[in-house]
């Protein structure tokens, strides 16, 4: 068995909502999905800023599917909902949206709980083990996955970058949901969605972002990872 032989589901009809779609990571992901022809619902705490972010996104080069904007509740109407908020507001935002993220909704957490001091970034302890597990605790009816931790917001947002060549590690306890997220990652030019374990192993994937930031600082790059032998 190798990667190419894994059959991933057809996700061409799925809409992707972005909670925190006006932040760097959310905005960048929204742009890449829109370039890939995915219908994106850009969410923000304020409806006005969500609408504005979608308009700005639609004006960028290469957008193949017009995004729509609204508040975070609007983004929750999508088939797959990506949580891309700062760690500081993670628990509160997820708890607030919990009534909308029910009945098997696929939720993709891509939040990295990191702290920063004069020596650089470091992993913050999370009582639930990871941001993704915190989301899963707050959203017992949703199918929570973790993915898109290591994508550089700078590369995502740069219209001149045609391909973002890296693997997206996808974690989740629901294989069907994880496969959808893998397939969505695979729609973005250059990306491959690789299943990388259960949600209980999400903490180190989130925390590895601190190491990639160290790599970026040392080598002046925008590091991601590829899985070898795959």
**Contacts to a second copy by CB under 8 A:** 1-3, 6, 119-123, 152, 155, 165-166, 169, 171, 194-198, 200-201, 203-208, 210-215, 218-230
d(CA 126, CA 111): 12
Least distance in Å: CB of 119 to a second copy?
6
Is 185 in a helix, a strand, or coil? helix
DSSP 65-104: S--EEEEHHHHTTSSEEEE---GGGHHHHHHHHGGGS-TT
- How far apart CA 170 and CA 163 sit, in angstroms, is 19
* Nearer residue to a second copy within complex by CB, 50 or 172: 172
Cβ nearer to a second copy, comparing 43 with 203: 203
Nearer to a second copy, 93 or 112 (CB): 112
Those residues whose C-beta lies under 8 Å from the C-beta of residue 15, and which sit 6 or more positions away, are 38, 39, 40, 41, 77, 78, 79, 80
When the beta carbons of 41 and 164 are compared against a second copy, the nearer one is: 164
């Amino acid at each position: 068995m190798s990667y190419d032989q894994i059959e991933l589901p057809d996700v061409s009809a799925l809409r992707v909502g972005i909670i925190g779609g006006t932040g760097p990571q959310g905005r960048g992901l929204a742009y890449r999905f829109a370039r890939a022809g995915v219908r994106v619902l850009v969410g923000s705490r304020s409806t006005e800023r969500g609408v504005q972010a979608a308009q700005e996104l639609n004006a960028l080069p290469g957008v193949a599917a017009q995004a729509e904007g609204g508040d975070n509740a609007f983004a929750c109407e999508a088939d797959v909902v990506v949580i891309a908020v700062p760690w500081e507001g993670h628990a509160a935002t997820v708890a607030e949206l919990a009534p909308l993220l029910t009945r098997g909704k696929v939720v993709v957490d891509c939040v990295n709980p990191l702290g920063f001091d004069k020596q650089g970034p470091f992993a913050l302890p999370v009582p639930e083990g990871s941001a993704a597990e915190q989301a899963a605790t707050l959203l017992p009816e949703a199918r929570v996955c973790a993915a898109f931790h290591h994508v550089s917001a700078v590369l995502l947002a740069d219209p001149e970058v045609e391909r973002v060549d890296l693997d997206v590690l996808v974690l989740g306890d629901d294989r069907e949901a994880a496969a959808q997220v893998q397939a969505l990652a695979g729609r973005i030019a250059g990306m491959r969605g690789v299943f990388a374990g259960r949600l209980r192993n999400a903490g180190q994937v989130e925390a590895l972002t601190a190491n990639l930031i160290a790599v970026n600082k040392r080598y002046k790059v925008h590091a991601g990872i590829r899985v070898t032998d795959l």
